[in-house]
Structure 1
């Protein structure tokens, strides 16, 4: 099949070379000055210049120098404008990239929230009722201190409230021996072995915990126990390394 494009439809790509016009102007300036000086010297050597002619030539050269200096200043300003434009373009590009990263992060967060609510409202057959949805820890300013957050959900039948207690144990080693420490012994915000909850869709439980010196955690065990008409139990174990590396 022949190419139906007309010559007018073809494009020519010209490489952009910053500073090329400035360098060309400077080269022309150099050649002009050299030619003028050479011509003036040749005239003197032949004795063809009178004093008045020399003055006129000097004035003419001075005018040319001033003109070329003005052209040089304009070319230099053009180069500065190009450099500023390039810097502005690069800054705009960086800002656009940062905006895109922020939007992608926000989209991921919204998609995660959407999945979270969908799972609550339309769960699978194997995940209904009280659920331990997640447990997260983030390092605080002090060494060995972490902020924690756990999320409990009621999946599927959430027309009425669900209530009960949730217990958290941190499992690790102390001086080579396995040790299980209740969350109330690590957090000043929790007084009982179990934290009370009551919610319809989900509930966040947040606080701060501090690990004892020499204690190396490797798991967090969460056990939620619902009471009353919706009595049920949900249990999950979280790997400490996975929690702190995310």
Structure 2
């Protein structure tokens, strides 16, 4: 019995549903691969960027620390400068006080030197000191004039001093004499009589619109020619230097 030949073509029935499922599976697989690739790329990019971000953050912290150190240094320097300024002002004040004390000692030394001057040489009558001080609540001033002479002279010196004040009245120069000064100034002046030294006291009343600049003192001692000395008002309001009147 002869065998039947193998057929060259086989006819199969196509299942449409199975074909669609296969296509869906393939498409899903491709989509998954694409998503996985994108995810891997994104992670790689961020993994490379993380070290740089960490480095920037560290640099910012270092800059902040350096800035704080500089601020503290500036604050310390500022305090040191303030302390130095206070110390300098205190030193200037102390030096001014010492200078004032030295000036007072020099005046005292001059006073006693003339008072007990050595030798037989005749010493001059001296306007040793002139001081003015304001009287509160008025235009009046207290005036003190100190006169000295050598104690070795052994005789009293008598005479009279006259006073005048030079200054500005408005925008013009003016001179006030005894009759214009008021206060306790006598028209003829202030009499003196002493062997060693004498202080003369009086009060000057100045007009409200008058600004004094100099005090003029005339000295007329018995047996000698009259002499005039001037003292700046600013100096007299502190302590004037020696003003000599030769007899």
TM-score (norm 1): 0.51
Residue of structure 2 in register with 1:133 after alignment: 127
SS of residue matched to 1:152: strand
Residue of structure 2 in register with 1:40 after alignment: none
Question: Over residues 72-101 of structure 1, what are the superposed CA-to-partner deviations in whole Å (9 max), with x where a residue is unaligned?
Answer: 111121123223323433443344344334
Residue of structure 1 in register with 2:219 after alignment: 222
Matches within 5 A, 1:97-112: 97-112=92-107
Please tell me whether Structure 1 or Structure 2 has the larger radius of gyration of its CA atoms. 2
Deviation of 1:151 (Å): 1.0
What RMSD in Å do the two structures reach over aligned CA positions?
4.8
Question: Whole-Å Cα distance in 2 between the matches of residues 147 and 76 of structure 1?
Answer: 58
Question: Whole-Å Cα distance in 2 between the matches of residues 202 and 115 of structure 1?
Answer: 13
SS of residue matched to 1:207: strand
Compared CA separation, residues 70 and 158, structure 1 to 2 (3 A): farther
Matches within 5 A, 1:1-246: 51-52=46-47, 54-55=49-50, 57-123=52-118, 125-127=121-123, 131-134=125-128, 136=130, 147-157=142-152, 166-170=160-164, 181-182=177-178, 186-190=181-185, 193=188, 195=190, 201-210=196-205, 219-224=216-221, 236-239=227-230, 242-244=231-233, 246=235
Compared CA separation, residues 148 and 59, structure 1 to 2 (3 A): same
Deviation of 1:113 (Å): 2.0
Q: Specify every segment of 5 or more residues in structure 2 that has no aligned partner in the other structure, as ranges.
A: 1-41, 167-174, 236-247
Q: Specify every segment of 5 or more residues in structure 1 that has no aligned partner in the other structure, as ranges.
A: 1-46, 173-178, 226-231
Question: Whole-Å Cα distance in 2 between the matches of residues 169 and 77 of structure 1?
Answer: 65
Deviation of 1:62 (Å): 2.0
Deviation of 1:120 (Å): 0.8
Compared CA separation, residues 243 and 85, structure 1 to 2 (3 A): closer
Is the 1:166–1:196 contact (alpha carbons within 8 Å) kept by the matching residues of 2? yes
Question: Over residues 12-69 of structure 1, what are the superposed CA-to-partner deviations in whole Å (9 max), with x where a residue is unaligned?
Answer: xxxxxxxxxxxxxxxxxxxxxxxxxxxxxxxxxxx99553564454344323312320
TM-score (norm 2): 0.50
Question: Whole-Å Cα distance in 2 between the matches of residues 90 and 171 of structure 1?
Answer: 42
